[in-house]
Amino acid sequence: MIRATWLVLMAAFSMAASAASGDATREALTKRAQAGDTQAQVALGRSLQDDGVAADKAAGTEWYRKAAMAGSAEGAWMLGSATMAGVGVARDVPAGIDWMRKSVGIDQNADHMAVLAVALLATGSTQEALQWAQKASDKGSAKAMEVLAMARLSGEMGLPKDVPLAEKLLTAAAQKGDPDAQLSLGQFYVSGLFGRQDTAVGLRWLQAAVDGGSAKAAGTLAYFLITGKQGVTVDGARGVVLARKAIASNEMLGHYAMGVAYVLGTGIAENPSEGWYEISLAQRMDSQQQLKSAGDYLAKASAKLSPAQLAQLKARVDAAAGNSPSDT
């Protein structure tokens, strides 16, 4: 599956902005919700699901259901998201998608249409997915433009392969300020995936994604600057700063770039132990097996470490990995 399922599904299952908190606010929301205020019902649902009490998640989902049944687009969307993710209710992807359809049918939210398109792609409903993506793109959704760009770039989702159109769509999404589109565009220019390499332009888009808050972009740019891959001019100091920025968000690519920096001694003093640790931790987080060169760097670090040091490092990785989410 292309990188579209990749990025927007996270948005599909995130429970949007945080709800109001505090006992007084909860009490006020409850009164309004019980009186039939759908906005209060959705807000109360979020408050219950975000309060850290496991038993409240089901109650939160039921408030979404009440709002949805009353015709609230937001309530239907939150209910669909919760149902797809299995939050407060048994996980049921088809039912979740149905509620998402109802939601966008009510409010015509373009970004939600794009998320629906990705959810449909994940279930194999390609034709309907592309219809929603096109509709959302026509309404100006950057996420939908990215979905269509990936479809055109791969030619694997029922649309003819069209690299120039893919570039145009992805550029339009990036120009709208979408960090994920900026990240993809930067990677594609640096790697030459559009049929030509433009490293300078690629690096500018990667930096734009970093500036937009993308930890994945920070880790990606850090790796290029530390290794000089794809003809990028090495800037180890800047690469290490970016790697640390990505690590602050527990981004797998940040750990990897930092580990490579330690192994190579680029931008920071060479430290095989820390390099082995960071790369191994990144591997544990790499559910999509992106780190193809990790073995080479680990071998380089291992050659300078004793069996006892490696055993200690493995235990350290085990302990850290137990507290680190996998990269998704």
Q: What is the pLDDT of residues 43-82, one digit of tens each?
A: 999 999 998 899 999 999 999 999 999 999 999 999 999 9
pLDDT of residue 22: 52
How large is the average pLDDT for residues 266-273?
98
- Give residue 80's pLDDT: 97
Cα separation, 13 vs 89, whole angstroms: 13
* Residue 33, SS3 per DSSP: helix
For the chain, give the mean pLDDT.
Answer: 91
The confidence score (pLDDT) of residue 35 equals 96
What's the farthest any 2 CA atoms get from each other in the chain? 69
User: Among 16-25, 232-241, 266-275, which stretch is predicted with the lowest mean pLDDT?
Assistant: 16-25
- Express each pLDDT in 290-303 by its tens digit: 899 999 999 999 99
Q: What is the pLDDT of residues 191-210, one digit of tens each?
A: 999 999 999 999 999 999 99
pLDDT at 305: 97
Nearest to 153 by CA among 323, 3, 309: 3
Report yes or no: 155 and 161 within 8 Å, Cβ to Cβ.
Answer: yes
The C-alpha atoms of residue 319 and residue 15 are separated, in whole angstroms, by 29
Q: How confident is the model at residue 7 (pLDDT cuts 50, 70, 90)?
A: very low
Least confident span in 3-7, 22-26, 178-182: 3-7
Describe the crossing of helices 126-138 and 110-122 by its angle, rounded to 10 degrees. 160
The pLDDT of residue 13: 39
Counting beta carbons within 10 angstroms of the beta carbon of residue 24, is it exposed (0 to 12), middle (13 to 18) or buried (19 or more)? exposed
Q: Which residues have C-beta within 8 Å of that of residue 324, sequence separation ≥ 6?
A: 250, 281, 284, 285
pLDDT value for 288: 82
Residues 276-279: contacts with CB within 8 Å, 24+ apart?
A: 276/301, 276/302, 276/305, 276/310, 276/313, 277/313, 277/316, 277/317, 279/255
In this structure, what DSSP letter does residue 327 have? P
In whole angstroms, how far apart are CA 287 and each of 250, 282, 327? Answer: 14, 10, 6
Amino acid at 15: M
Does residue 227 have a pLDDT over 80? yes
When pLDDT is cut at 50, 70 and 90, the band that residue 226 belongs to is very high
pLDDT band at 250 (very low <50, low <70, confident <90, very high): very high
Q: According to the model, what pLDDT value does residue 323 have?
A: 61
| Whole-prediction pTM | 0.82
* Mean pLDDT of the region 251-276: 98
Q: Which residue has the higher pLDDT, 7 or 92?
A: 92
- 21 pLDDT higher than 50: no
Q: How many helices (H) and strands (E) does the chain have?
A: 18, 0
- Contact 60/42 with Cβ under 8 angstroms? no
Angle at Cα 111 formed by Cα 44 and Cα 80, nearest 5°? 45
pLDDT for 52:
86
Measuring CA to CA, which residue among 299, 306, 253 is closest to residue 276? 299
pLDDT at 41 over 80: yes
Query: Which pLDDT score, from 0 to 100, does residue 15 have?
Result: 37
What pLDDT sits at residue 179?
96
- pLDDT given at position 19: 37
Instruction: Tell me what pLDDT residue 105 has.
Output: 96
**How far, CA to CA in Å, does 53 sit from each of 32, 40, 82?**
22, 20, 16
Percentage above 90 pLDDT, the chain: 84
> Minimal CA–CA distance to 279: which of 261, 304, 267, 266?
261
Q: What is the pLDDT of residues 100-131, one digit of tens each?
A: 999 999 999 999 999 999 999 989 999 999 99
